Structure 1
Amino acid sequence: MHLLKVSILTILITTFSFVQQSRADTIVPPIKTQVNEVAQWFTGFFDNAQQIANSPSVPLITMSNCSVQVDDTNPLADTQNVYLEQESPGFERLRLYSFSERNLAVNLSISSFLNENTVRGLCNHSQSTRTVSINNVENNTCNLQLFWEPNSYIGNNAPNGCITSDGFKVVSDVTIEQNSIDSLDKIFDAKDNLLIATPIEFRQVESVPEPSVTLGLLVLGIWSTKNAISDNLKQKSKKNKTSVI
C-alpha cells in the first residue's frame, strides 16, 4: 500500500512538472524580446550546402549577416538592423534588414542600397565600425510580419508581396530558427505568371565574431576555401540581382 501511494505521488509530480514545462514553452515572450531574439538568430555566416547534397540543381548561395548601426537614426529605438550579403554564381544581393516591433508581431523591413560599393564586405569589419548611412538606403522597402512560434519565427507577405524595380512581384515565405533560415521567394511577372519558386535552406556555418587579426584570417580562410568553386563559376557568369530572403 505504501509503495502504491509513492507511485501515485510520483506520477502526479511528474505530470505537474510536464504541464508546467508545457505552459512555459507556450508563453509568448514580449515583442521587444522577440525583436532581439530573431535578429540574433538571423546573424551569422550561412550557406545551403546541406540542401545541395540532396538537390544538386539548387545553386550554392552563401550569406553573411551582421548587426550594423544606421547613422542619423535614434539609437534608442527598438530596431535591430542587420546587413545581409548573399553571393551565388548567378547573382549578388546586398540588403539592410530592420527588425522592429509591430503590434503582436515582429516587423521585418528590407531595404536596398543606392550605392552598394560602400557597404560590400561590411561583415569583415569590426562591429564598432559597421555603420550604414541612412542617405544610402532606398526609401521604398519590402515588409513582412514575423510571428513567434515555439523555437521559430514564421512570416510571409502573401498575397500582395513586394514589387521590384523591374515590375516583378515577389511573394516571400520565411522561417527563422536558431542556426537556420528557410525561405521561399515566388517571383511573378507583370501578368502574374509564376517565374521562379525555389525554396532555399540556409544553415549556419559560423557565427559573426568580433574580428581579431588571427580570428579574422581564420574565418576568411574557411570562407574563401568553401567558395573557391563558386568564385571560379562566378567569373564566367554575369551577376544579376534577384530577391532571396
Structure 2
Amino acid sequence: MQAIRSILFHAAFYSLTTLLAIFGLPILLRDRRGVQAYARFWTGTSIWLLDKVGGVKVEFRGLDRLPQGGCIIAAKHQSALETLALTTITHDFSYVLKRELMGIPIFGWYLSGAGQIAIDRAKRGQAMADLIKQVGEAAAQGRQIFIFPEGTRRQAGAPPDYKSGVAHLYAATGAICAPVALNTGLFWPRSGPLRSGTAVIEFLPPLAPGLDKKTFANRLQTEIEAATAALIAEAVADDPGLKTALAD
C-alpha cells in the first residue's frame, strides 16, 4: 500500500511542479517577494500532497528559536523534503546553491527571480569571497540564508562530512546562525519509495556572532549531529522498520 502511495505522490508532485512552472512564468515579471510567494505556494502544496497522498507528515520543532531578520540557517541535509518545507516557514529566503542550477531552463529562471545565491565553484579562491559578499548583503537586508554545511544530501545515519564554508560565512558576515537537525531521510530517501510517518525538522538554539571559526564549527557539528541522532532514534523507536533507511 505504501509503495502505491509513494508512486502516486511522485506522479502528483512532478505533475504539479511542471504545471506551476509553465503557467507561472508571468510571475517572473514580479519582484523577488512575488516570486518567493509563488514558490511557497508550490512548496506548501507539495508538503500537503506529501501528507495526504504520500503518507508523510512534517512536524516543525523549535520555531520560536528561529531568529527574526537576517541570519544563516545551517541545516542537516538528508532529503528533498527539507528543501521544500523550510521555505514555508521563512519570510524572505535564499538558498546557497551551485551556479549550474541557475542555467537550467525555467527552473533556473525561478531561482534567479526568487533571489537565490549562486556560487561559481569554477572560480576556486574567488568563489568564497563572492559568496561572503552575497550572503553579507542578503543578511543586511534581513533575509534568511539557508546553507547545508555538508554540501549535499547524506543518507540518514551516515557519518558527518561538514565543510568549512559555513564557518567562513559566519565569521566574515557576523550573522547569527540557526542550526537545524532533522530525520527526513528516513521518510523521503534519496532513492527508493517514501516511508509513512512523521518527519521532524528541529531548530536548535542559535549560535550568536563572535565565536572563533574553530569553536563555531565544532559546536555546529556537535549540536546538529546529536540532535539528529536523537530524532532518528525517536522515529526508529516508534517504527523499527525505518532501520532499513539507515546507512550501513
The TM tier, using the shorter chain, reads: under 0.3
Higher fraction of helix: 2
Higher relative contact order (CA 8 A, sep 6+): 2
More strand per residue: 1
